[in-house]
Amino acid sequence: MTDDTEAQTPRRGLLDLPTEIVIQVVAHLAGDNRTLCPLARTCHLLQHECEKHIYKKIELLFTNDLRAILEAFSRRPERVDGVETLKILYRYHTGLGTTSEERAAFNQYVARMKALRDWHVESPYDNFKWEHGGNEWVEQDMEEFRKALEAASLYRQNGSLTHTELGLSKLEKLILHSHGANTDFWDLEGFHCLFRHPNLRYLHISCIIIPQDIPELEPYEKTTPLTTLIFDECELTPKGIGHILRTPKALKHLTLGENVYNIRRSQGIAPNLSTAPAASLEALKAVAHSLESLTHFDPYWRLFGDASKYRPVRGDGMRDFHQLRFVDIPLCSFLHQFILSPVQAPPNLKTLRLHHAREYGGNASAITSFFEQLPPLEPYTNQPSLRTIEFAQSADIFPDDNIVDIYEDDRICDRHAYAYKLHKRGIAMKVYLEASMRHGLIPPYLHGEATPELVCVYDSKKVGFRHMVDLPQDLRRSFEENDLPEDLRSFAAGMSHSELSVLRRGLDERPDEEFPETDQLGTSDILRLKNEVRRSLTQLLRKSLLLDDDSDIVQNLEVEVDDAELDPDFGVDFDAEDWFDAEDDDEEMEDLDANDDVELYFDLDIPEEDGSGDITEYEDDDGLD
């Protein structure tokens, strides 16, 4: 092609493409506000398409961001209609009270968000700040939220069920963490509208007091599409729960999180459900036709060290819960007695998880750790539908003596023998450590806090029950100079290097099916299990250190963007992912050698390494109880 031809050929840009392709190109940039914002400034067409994604998700981490977003909404009110995800997660600061007018102005826009589907709200006065202005949040912000939810909720008019297409009417998911005006718990009161929403599918609320009677909900039995309901550290009552559970058409997932940890201020220890098992079961029967998973966090063990004393309930128990496949409860829960009875247990239960709460005051020391001793297995083997039983032990991983029983040889062997008996009945077994990485951090877990993680320390399906344990007696001699597992050293004594090589290759390639089933483990099996857990916990510890609140990484995450750097016409938030790539972090941790510095955290018998150390001091999380 000649230079003249090139000069005559018109240059084509993005807008020369068909409109459908331009829209797809812009959609491909969704989530990248750093690119979308300048692109939106180029022309009206791209501004319209870019703003669909710029304002689709708003995260307010600082009250300083309010001025920019208010300016943007006031310039183009139609931007409010595009918000689908909203996270109000203001950080507490001493000048928070001076932002009440800006917060109130933004809350008015919230009530007009017709496309909002996912809403997450946390009070900036949580974590013991409610005495320093928390009443303003409750009486102003929360009241505005309540009014908006009430306006969007179902109501009866002339006997017919109806609702108005207003802001929040399309809301599908709501997470709400708050408190009282001057205390850590808040009353339901007018927030019964939460359970009358026409479109809400997922609801997670914490530190709320559910009263005995909620007559406002009686006209709305089986009217809402709610499928997941999570009560987190709440004061629950059987009768109040009954009113709430009668409103969904088909609730599938329920978490009854009673107040287990927040017991040192306005509320004490009150296991209201397990002390009234008949009434609690009657409340649950409202969702017996649809419930698929059920979790109960129960403070009963705090009052009664012997958690096995039940109050029998006559009748068919949970036999009508035909859809229930998964149950997660402590041994002290009123639900446990129904699981133990073949004539009262859910008929199609597949997985039972038994959990122990973290030792945090109360009578925790009276509860035996699952790592130390598992409960009698006979009652569980009487359930014909049960396929998996899981044991989850909560514990702080600092200091490591909280979890020392995980690694003891005798405990590992006892665990495996227990699993073998279950295996013979067709039941698999898993044991988890629910690892809390920050000492003193208790639920409900708020944005940015290190939530506990489940670490599998034993899985009967992976470990299996075919192992070479016994060796010929006439070949038992010491064999310290070779790196074979200890249980093979006597067998290999006296062999040449070539013979040893053949032996090792043959054992590695020999299928497990050739070994007989046994409830015993060889030394190499025990060592392998130790190392697998060690690697998992080492990775978890490194993640904990990377995300420590005092680390440089998190300090960088919290850098506030100067309002002057943002065009007020396009004031949006900057997601933390812009600063920190979680996938890159995972890849980095995969590249780390799991053995590096592990002796700083765990006192393990690792033959291939020498030298060890223990953590001698751990600084508690300041300001957390």
Mean of the pLDDT values across residues 267-293? 96
The pLDDT of residue 49 is 86
Query: How confident is the model over 322-346, as pLDDT tens digits?
Result: 999 999 999 999 999 999 999 999 9
DSSP 475-489: G----TTS-S-HHHH
The pLDDT of residue 85 is 97
Q: Which of 195, 204, 251 is nearest to 227 (CA)?
A: 251
Who wins on pLDDT, 568 or 459? 459
In this structure, the dihedral spanned by the alpha carbons of residues 282, 287, 293 and 297, taken in order and rounded to 10 degrees, is -40
Band the pLDDT of 113: cuts 50, 70, 90: very high
Mean of the pLDDT values across residues 566-576? 36
Residue 312 has pLDDT above 90, yes or no: no
Query: How confident is the model over 354-381, as pLDDT tens digits?
Result: 998 876 554 445 578 898 889 998 889 9
pTM for this model (two decimals): 0.80
The pLDDT of residue 461 is 96
Residue type for position 114: K
Band the pLDDT of 430: cuts 50, 70, 90: very high
Cα radius of gyration (the chain): 29
The pLDDT of residue 623 is 35
Is the dihedral angle over the CA atoms 458, 459, 462, 464 positive or is it negative?
Answer: positive
Instruction: Name, in order, each residue with C-beta under 8 angstroms of 501's C-beta and a sequence gap of 6 or more.
Output: none
The pLDDT of residue 512 is 56
Band the pLDDT of 495: cuts 50, 70, 90: low
Band the pLDDT of 459: cuts 50, 70, 90: very high
Residue 535 has pLDDT above 70, yes or no: yes
Please answer whether residues 522 and 491 qualify as being in contact, where contact means their C-beta atoms are separated by less than 8 angstroms: no
In whole angstroms, what is the distance from residue 537 CA to residue 118 CA? 33
Residue 162 pairs in a beta bridge with 155
Q: What percent of the chain has pLDDT over 70?
A: 74
Residues composing the chain: 625
Tell me the CA distances in angstroms from 183 to 29, 128, 237, 257, one per residue in order: 44, 8, 20, 19
415-424, 426-435, 495-504: segment of lowest average pLDDT: 495-504
The pLDDT of residue 501 is 55
361-370, 411-420, 604-613: segment of lowest average pLDDT: 604-613
Band the pLDDT of 477: cuts 50, 70, 90: very low
Query: Strand, helix or coil at 601?
Result: coil
382: Cα within 13 Å, side-chain hemisphere = 12
Mean of the pLDDT values across residues 430-450? 89
Band the pLDDT of 611: cuts 50, 70, 90: very low
Residue 588 has pLDDT above 90, yes or no: no
Q: CA 99: distance to chain centroid?
A: 32
Who wins on pLDDT, 483 or 280? 280
**Which two three-digit tokens encode residue 121?**
């709200």
The pLDDT of residue 548 is 57
- Phi (first) and psi of residue 290, to 5 degrees: -130, -15
In whole angstroms, what is the distance from residue 625 CA to residue 608 CA? 40
- DSSP letter at 592 equals S
What integer best gives the mean pLDDT of the chain? 80
- Phi (first) and psi of residue 606, to 5 degrees: -115, 100
Is the dihedral angle over the CA atoms 328, 334, 335, 338 positive or is it negative?
Answer: positive
The pLDDT of residue 152 is 92
Please answer whether residues 409 and 526 qualify as being in contact, where contact means their C-beta atoms are separated by less than 8 angstroms: yes
**Which two three-digit tokens encode residue 214?**
């909620």
State how beta strands 428-436 and 453-459 pair: antiparallel
Band the pLDDT of 173: cuts 50, 70, 90: very high
The pLDDT of residue 101 is 95
The pLDDT of residue 165 is 74
The pLDDT of residue 191 is 97
The pLDDT of residue 302 is 86
Tell me the CA distances in angstroms from 279 to 183, 242, 291, one per residue in order: 29, 9, 18
Band the pLDDT of 591: cuts 50, 70, 90: very low
Mean of the pLDDT values across residues 151-169? 77
Please answer whether residues 490 and 475 qualify as being in contact, where contact means their C-beta atoms are separated by less than 8 angstroms: yes
To the nearest 10 degrees (0 to 180), the angle between helices 19-28 and 44-54 is 40
Residue 577 has pLDDT above 50, yes or no: no
Query: How confident is the model over 198-222, as pLDDT tens digits?
Result: 999 999 999 999 999 999 999 999 9
Over 241-290, what HEC string results? Answer: HHHHHCCECCCCEEEEEECCCCCCCCCCCCCCCCCCHHHHHHHHHHHCCC
DSSP 454-477: EEEEEEHHHH-SB------GGG--
Mean of the pLDDT values across residues 24-38? 85
